[in-house]
């Protein structure tokens, strides 16, 4: 993606933290904007329409009625609204850039993408699989379930978001940077045959080779590519402000190289960056890195 392909970007903030059941990521969209997102993208050559934030309620007095699917009502409502907005912006031939919030918002983003893209590919950058269901999740936190829902597996109310029967195809779905999986996730990933590049594969193959293989998978017979980037895929040394950090993640340069290669391929049609937790961050370092990575993904170069 670069301004010669599509100069129109719509920024959509989703300050939702219920999926993680932990405060801090609700301030993520504001932190990312404060880190200079609009100005950076404008310098690259984009025209920006910031749609503001979707209202996400978080009363501290809320009770968890279903421990296996915490805060389902509000997560469903916010993701339904996000789906609508993403779909509208794609319908205007604009590039949706979604700012989280926790990773449960991928349900709404991808549902919105599926309103216009019938066979999208997805690259899922994450330390975790996020492919649990209410039966396999050890916490009931829905931010650990969006990959499963997007592939058509999960609670009927989450699957109904967007009202589309179209789902992602496992053969066009790639996970990168994984280093923490629950037992049920391991079984489902094997059952679906999803390509998973753990840090082991990245160490052995190198990021350039991993991205080459990943891009081949997500572009085979697809009509667009969505990037879902959880900031905890990056090593906590570089991105300390995330809710569920796992040591041994992507380096600063590996992360940027991945974005640069995607940009050069001109295949990305939508993206989201999630799980910036300002409460746990140091001087907004994680939000600043998120903005820098968005710059690399969207065509920023030294020369």
Catalytic residues: 103, 126, 128, 130, 143, 230, 232, 275
> Is 93 annotated as ligand-binding?
no
Question: Is 126 labelled as part of a ligand binding site?
Answer: yes
Exposure b/e, 207-234, CB count within 10 A at least 16 = b: beebbeebbebbeeebebbbbbbbbbbb
Which is nearest to 179 in space by CA: 238, 241, 122, 127? 127
Q: How many CB atoms are located within 10 Å of the residue 77 CB? A: 17
Angle among Cα 274, 126, 50 to the nearest 5 degrees reads 20
Helix, strand, coil shares of the chain as percentages rounded to 5?
40, 15, 40
Q: How far is CA 19 from CA 70, 78, 144, 244, in A?
A: 7, 11, 8, 12
**Residues sharing a CB contact under 8 Å with residue 73, sequence separation 6 or more, in sequence order:** none
Give the number of other CB atoms < 10 A from CB of residue 138: 10
223 belongs to an annotated ligand binding site: no
CB 239 within 8 A of CB 232: yes
Is 230 annotated among the ligand-binding residues? yes
Give, as one character, the DSSP assignment of residue 22. Answer: S
Known binder of ligand: residue 203? Answer: no
CA distances to 108, 145, 148, 175, 182 from 132, rounded to whole Å, are 17, 5, 6, 14, 8
Q: What φ, ψ does residue 67 adopt, rounded to 5°?
A: -60, -25
| 90: Cα separation from own chain's centroid | 17
Q: Output DSSP code: residue 187.
A: H
Q: Which residues are annotated as a binding site?
A: 103, 126, 128, 130, 230, 232
User: Binding site for Mn(2+): residue ranges?
Assistant: 103, 126, 128, 130, 230, 232
């Amino acid at each position: 993606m670069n301004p010669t392909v599509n100069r129109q970007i719509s920024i959509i903030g989703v300050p939702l933290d219920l999926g993680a059941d932990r405060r801090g990521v609700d301030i993520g969209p504001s932190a990312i904007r404060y880190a200079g997102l609009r100005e950076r993208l404008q310098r690259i050559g984009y025209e920006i329409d910031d749609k503001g934030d979707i209202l996400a309620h978080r009363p501290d007095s809320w009770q968890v009625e279903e421990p296996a699917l915490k805060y389902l009502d509000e997560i469903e409502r916010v993701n339904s609204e996000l789906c609508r907005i993403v779909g509208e912006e794609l319908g205007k031939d604009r590039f949706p850039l979604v700012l989280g919030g926790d990773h449960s918002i991928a349900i709404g983003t991808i549902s919105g993408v599926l309103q216009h893209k019938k066979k999208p590919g997805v690259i899922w950058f994450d330390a975790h699989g996020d492919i649990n269901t209410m039966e396999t999740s050890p916490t009931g936190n829905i931010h650990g379930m969006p990959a499963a829902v997007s592939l058509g597996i999960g609670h009927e109310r989450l699957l109904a978001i967007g009202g589309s029967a179209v789902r992602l195809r496992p053969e066009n779905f790639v996970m990168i940077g994984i280093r923490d999986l629950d037992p049920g996730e391991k079984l489902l990933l094997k059952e679906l045959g999803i390509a998973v590049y753990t840090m082991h594969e990245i160490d052995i193959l190198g990021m350039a080779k991993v991205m080459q293989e990943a891009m081949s998978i997500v572009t085979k017979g697809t009509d667009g590519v969505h990037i879902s980037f959880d900031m905890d895929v990056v090593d906590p040394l570089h991105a300390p402000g995330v809710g569920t950090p796992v040591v041994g993640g992507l380096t600063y340069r590996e992360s940027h190289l991945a974005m640069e290669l995607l940009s050069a391929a001109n295949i990305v049609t939508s993206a989201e960056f999630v799980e910036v937790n300002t409460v746990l961050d140091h001087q907004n370092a994680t939000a600043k890195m998120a903005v820098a990575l968005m710059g690399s993904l969207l065509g920023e170069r030294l020369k």
